[in-house]
Amino acid sequence: MTYLYVQCVLRKGSVTQTAWIPLEFGILYKYVKLKNDKVWEDGWQVIEVGKVRIDQDTLVDRSQDYKRTRKASDI
């Protein structure tokens, strides 16, 4: 199995967020672009790289988990 994505903590100015990014860009202290609402934002610095690697199919499946949780909850 080929792992294609890694979870990283990214910082831009005083804003910090966690994102799954392609493994080739998950390099500590590297600057990357993130796509937010169909617009690419430059200047995000990788400040932490996780150890878990996942493939694209798993990433897509996990990104949709909230839909199943919502259906199963009382909300």
* pLDDT above 60: residue 1: no
Higher pLDDT, 49 or 56: 49
Higher-scoring residue by pLDDT: 39, 56: 39
pLDDT at 55: 82
Write the CA distances from 11 to 19, 37, 40, 51, 63, integer angstroms: 11, 18, 15, 18, 22
Q: How far apart are CA 39 and CA 11, in angstroms?
A: 17
Predicted local distance difference test score (pLDDT) of residue 68 = 66
pLDDT(36) > 90: no
Structure token pair of residue 41: 């934002």
Cα(32)–Cα(10) distance, integer angstroms: 9
